[in-house]
């Protein structure tokens, strides 16, 4: 009886040794050389696999970074400048400093601001609704509120606010990967600079209709009255297609345009409450 056990054990050991030797030689023979820096770079990346860089996942981006001759144009949006700087050190290259970005929803068409004129009962999907008709209000440019951006976000950084029926970006969670920008069929979401102390000013409207039509559809629509462009001391505001746009590279956050806008289409975020005196504005602009 015991001889059977011993025989079996020895046979198994022999098979094991032979297989191990074969596997070892196979591993040596078919070894694929991989740049060790790829692993190092990958370890630095956030492992979000969001695709914001334009490559298939963090591994794909790490491979592209190691292969590239010049990485100054490549950016990991969730990681930002810090991660890129650390990667550049490993690769012996330099990167330019980039400002952190955040998704901004440029529509303020709450049910109060934008009266509902029809009822949509189709599939709950913005792209489908957009291909069918203008939406539940008279604004053919505004948010449809059916949540394509929410489905696209991998970070749970955007949700529909039940009070306003509009998407709301959670500042701490948004990594600026740009998935929502691509998902929105109406191009409402834009990547803008996060700004110092998260302070931002933007036109919260994308309606390209003429002023009267836009205003009739929505109380807070941009009517392209040009007042903001005239008051802006930094020439940051341009008007195109009946719509104002603030260039965040030029804007110095002086807030003069916000006060000027007759339809309250310009939104300021995370600023301290205004003081009455005009001097306070100049001090704020230096922030």
Partner 1 sequence: MLKTFKKGGVHPPENKLSAQSTLERLPLPEMVYIPISQHIGSAAEPVVQKGDTVKVGTLIAKQNGLFSANIHSSVSGTVQKIDEIIDSSGFRRKAIIIQVEGDQWEETIDQSNTIVRDIPSDPKEIVQKITSAGIVGLGGATFPTHIKLSIPDGKKAEILIINGVECEPYLTSDHRLMLEKGLEILIGTQILMKALNVHRASIGIENNKKDAIKHLIELSKDFPGINVVALKVKYPQGAEKQLIKAIINREVPSGKLPIDVGAVVQNVGTAFAVYEAVQKNKPLFERVVTITGKNLSKPSNLVVRIGTPIRKLIDFAGGLPDNTAKIINGGPMMGKAVCDIDVPVTKGTSGIVILSEKDAVRLPVQNCIRCAKCVSACPMGLEPYLLMTFGAKQMWSEAETNKVVDCIECGSCSFVCPANRPLLDYIRLGKLTVGKIIRTRKS
Q: What is the closest distance, in whole angstroms, from the C-beta atom of residue 129 to partner 1 in the complex?
A: 9
CB closer to partner 1, 146 vs 246: 146
How many binding residues for partner 1 (CB under 8 A)?
A: 17
How many beta carbons lie within 10 A of that of residue 20, not counting itself?
A: 10
Q: Largest Cα–Cα distance of the chain, in whole Å?
A: 102
CB nearer partner 1, residue 64 or residue 152 = 152
Name which position in 8, 11, 118, 198 contacts partner 1 (CB under 8 A). 118
Which of residues 12 and 132 has its CB atom nearest to partner 1 in the complex? 132
| Least distance between partner 1 and beta carbon 210 (Å) | 8
Q: CB of residue 133 vs partner 1: minimum separation in angstroms?
A: 4
Task: Work out whether 128 is an interface residue with partner 1 (CB under 8 A).
Answer: yes
Return all residues near 263 (Cβ < 8 A) that are at least 6 apart: 215, 219, 220, 221, 222, 223
Query: Does the footprint of partner 1 cover residue 125 (CB under 8 A)?
Result: yes
Q: What is the DSSP string of 205-251?
A: ----S-HHHHHHH-TT-----SHHHHH-TT--EEEETTEEEE-TTT-
DSSP letter for each residue of 13-63: HHHHHHHHHHHHHHHHHT-----HHHHHHHHHS------TTSSSHHHHHHH
Tokens at residue 213, please? 């039509």
CB of 173 to partner 1, least distance (A): 22
Query: Least separation, in Å, of the C-beta of 124 and partner 1?
Result: 8
For 271, the token pair is: 């600023």
**Using CB under 8 A as the criterion, what x/- string covers residues 203-222 for binding partner 1?**
------x---x---------
Count of other CB atoms within 10 angstroms of residue 244:
23
Task: Choose among 259, 257, 253, 283: nearest CA to 193.
Answer: 253
Hey, which residues between 131 and 170 contact partner 1 (CB under 8 A)?
131-135, 138, 140
- Rounded CA-CA distance 145/161 in Å is 10
Closest distance of CB 50 from partner 1, Å: 16
Query: CB of residue 132 vs partner 1: minimum separation in angstroms?
Result: 7
Q: Which residues pair with 104 in a beta bridge?
A: 190
Query: Which span (34-42, 65-73, 93-101, 127-135) binds partner 1, by CB under 8 A?
Result: 127-135
Among 56, 122, 196, 272, binds partner 1 (CB under 8 A): 122
Residue 121 contacts partner 1 per CB under 8 A: yes
Name the residues that contact partner 1, by CB under 8 A. 117-118, 121-123, 125, 127-128, 131-135, 138, 140, 209, 213
């Amino acid at each position: 009886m015991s001889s059977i056990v011993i025989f079996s054990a020895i046979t198994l050991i022999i098979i094991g040794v032979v297989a191990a030797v074969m596997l070892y030689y196979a591993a040596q023979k078919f070894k694929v050389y991989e740049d060790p820096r790829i692993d190092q770079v990958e370890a630095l990346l956030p492992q979000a696999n969001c695709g914001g860089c334009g490559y298939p996942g963090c591994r794909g981006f790490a491979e592209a970074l190691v292969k590239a001759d010049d990485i100054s144009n490549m950016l990991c949006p969730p990681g930002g400048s810090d991660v890129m700087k650390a990667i550049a050190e490993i690769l012996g290259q330099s990167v330019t400093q980039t400002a952190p970005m955040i998704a901004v929803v440029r529509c303020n068409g709450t049910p109060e601001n934008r009266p509902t004129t029809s009822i949509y009962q189709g599939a709950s999907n913005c792209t489908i609704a957009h291909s069918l008709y203008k939406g539940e209000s008279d604004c053919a440019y505004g948010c449809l509120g059916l949540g394509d951006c929410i489905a696209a976000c991998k970070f749970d950084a955007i949700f529909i606010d039940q009070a306003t029926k509009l998407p709301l970006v959670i500042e701490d969670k948004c990594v600026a990967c740009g998935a929502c920008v691509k998902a929105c069929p109406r191009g409402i979401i834009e990547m803008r600079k996060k700004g110092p102390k998260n302070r931002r000013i933007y036109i919260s409207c994308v309606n390209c209709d003429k002023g009267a039509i836009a205003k009739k559809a929505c109380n807070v629509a941009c009517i392209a009255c040009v007042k903001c462009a005239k008051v802006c001391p930094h020439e940051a505001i341009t008007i195109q297609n009946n719509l104002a746009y603030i260039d965040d590279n030029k804007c110095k956050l002086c807030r003069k345009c916000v006060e000027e806008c007759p339809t309250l289409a310009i939104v300021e975020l995370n600023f301290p409450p205004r003081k009455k005196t005009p001097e306070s504005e100049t001090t704020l602009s230096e922030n």
